A and B are shown apart, each in its own frame.
Chain A
Amino acid sequence: MEMLKAIAIGLPLTVLVTILALMIGTVVALPIVAGLRSRNRLIWLMSRGLVDLLRGIPPVVWLFMLYYGISIGAVRLSALQAGVLGLGVVAAAYLAEIFRGAISAVPKGQWEASSALGFHRATVWTRIVGPQTARAAIPAYTTFAIGLLKDSSIASTIGVSEIVFMSSQYARQSGSGILVFFVAAGIYILLSVPLGLLSRHLDVKMRKAVAR
């Protein structure tokens, strides 16, 4: 019980890091998607390169660069700031790919029908392609969110006192390592269950809505 309490102290930070990184990732992903869909070769190449670089380097390296490597004057990023920012930009790259895939999953006929009906570009995005993209992206998006929840543990390496940080601290103090880490694993699994259920629920609902 004491153990559970010690670990649970890390819970709010795990949730906070996950949610903030997801928000940063989602927002930053949008301009990257636009770049990946751009007809301008230079913009496309830069976006492609950015996505590949962000995904090609392990998150822990980004976090270390931001935490140990970056200082603006004498001011360094706090562990939490570096953790959220690092996980956020890496998330942006993965989410950009998810969104790009979802957009290209909207059948070409939908674009053609929209222009045949004389819709404005904005209308096409908000009413036709946007909603269908969201439907296609949600399963992958929730799967990614579950992955991000687990990756938020990487923030422990730069000292963010979330679940894994608290667990290893407790393990070192108490010397009951096996149980501590199984409990920590259990908490992550429990946290991802509602997300997984939500994903499945939305998927089933949408399959009914856009059954072909």
Chain B
Amino acid sequence: MNNLVDVAIEYGPTLLGGLKVSLTLTILSLALGLPIGLLFSFGVTAKNKAFRYISVFFVEVGRGAPALVLLQLMYYGLPNANLTLSSMASACLALTWTTAAYSAELIRGGMQSVPSGEIEGSHALGMSYRDCLRFVVIPQGLRIALPSLMGFAVLLFQATSLAYSVAVPELMSQAYSIGSSTFQYLPVFIVAGLLYAAISIPATWLSVGAERLLSRHL
């Protein structure tokens, strides 16, 4: 126990620096991935074949392949195509792909659960297809999907811990390098684990709260 406190004090700043990188990676991937996800959510059922095939490919591979495979693909694979990215950029690209793929399905699910009566209502009022999407389907679909998107964001934050395998200096890789130089593996990983938990547990509560809050008017 004493050991734990010592480690926390001694290596706290380094680990917190790693946490900052983890959070940056999470936020960048969300900021890039969510808009693409919205696009794909229409793409997977689009009439335009090229758009549909591209969307289905990215959604299915992004959801079907482990994040670890996508990370290594971007970092170790892309250089074969003469495209060498920094570890941070390749991790960001991989996790953006994951985000876009999962959020596409979550958003599509949300839009599908907008009651058909409301869509009928807007048709009966003579509103155009575009207006129906813009004012009825998309706002409500996003609202319905929001809690599960927040839940996904927590999982994405945790998945950034895999970016250590492509040498991103995030929390996990800081913890591992401290561990391997001091052989204080257990306390370091416990402290790192608690830092992850300190973000993801409250964030999960937040997503549960959001679910309650947003179902008020439904």
- Residues of A whose CB lies within 8 Å of any CB of B are 52-53, 55-62, 64-65, 68-70, 150-151, 153-154, 156-157, 164, 167-168, 171-172, 175-178, 180-182, 184-185, 188-189, 192
Across the interface, B69 reaches (CB within 8 A) one of A53, A56, A185, A192, namely A185
Q: Which residues of A contact B32 (CB under 8 A)?
A: none
| Interface pair A181/B77, CB less than 8 Å apart | yes
Distance of A23 from chain B, by nearest CB (Å): 20
| Interface pair B190/A172, CB less than 8 Å apart | no
- Residues of B153-204 whose CB lies within 8 A of A: 158-159, 161-162, 164-165, 172, 175-176, 179, 185-186, 189-190, 192-194, 196-197, 200-201, 204
| Interface pair B64/A57, CB less than 8 Å apart | no
Q: Judge whether B135 is part of the interface by a CB distance below 8 angstroms.
A: no
Decide: A61 near B73, CB < 8 A? Known: A69-B186, A156-B68: no
CA distance A154 to B159 in the complex (A): 10
Across the interface, A69 reaches (CB within 8 A) one of B65, B67, B165, B189, namely B189
| Interface pair A177/B68, CB less than 8 Å apart | no
- Residues of B whose CB lies within 8 Å of any CB of A are 60-61, 64-70, 72-73, 76-81, 158-159, 161-162, 164-165, 172, 175-176, 179, 185-186, 189-190, 192-194, 196-197, 200-201, 204
Distance of A165 from chain B, by nearest CB (Å): 10
| Interface pair B61/A189, CB less than 8 Å apart | yes
| Interface pair B193/A65, CB less than 8 Å apart | yes
| Interface pair B72/A164, CB less than 8 Å apart | yes
CA distance A52 to B205 in the complex (A): 10
Nearest B residue (CB) for A189: B64
| Interface pair A61/B172, CB less than 8 Å apart | yes
Across the interface, A185 reaches (CB within 8 A) one of B65, B81, B158, B179, namely B65
| Interface pair B80/A188, CB less than 8 Å apart | no
| Interface pair B204/A55, CB less than 8 Å apart | yes
**26 A-B interface contacts by CB (under 8 A):** A52-B201, A53-B197, A57-B196, A58-B162, A60-B162, A61-B161, A61-B172, A61-B193, A65-B185, A150-B64, A150-B66, A153-B69, A164-B68, A171-B76, A177-B72, A177-B76, A177-B78, A177-B79, A181-B73, A184-B65, A185-B64, A185-B69, A185-B70, A185-B73, A188-B66, A189-B61
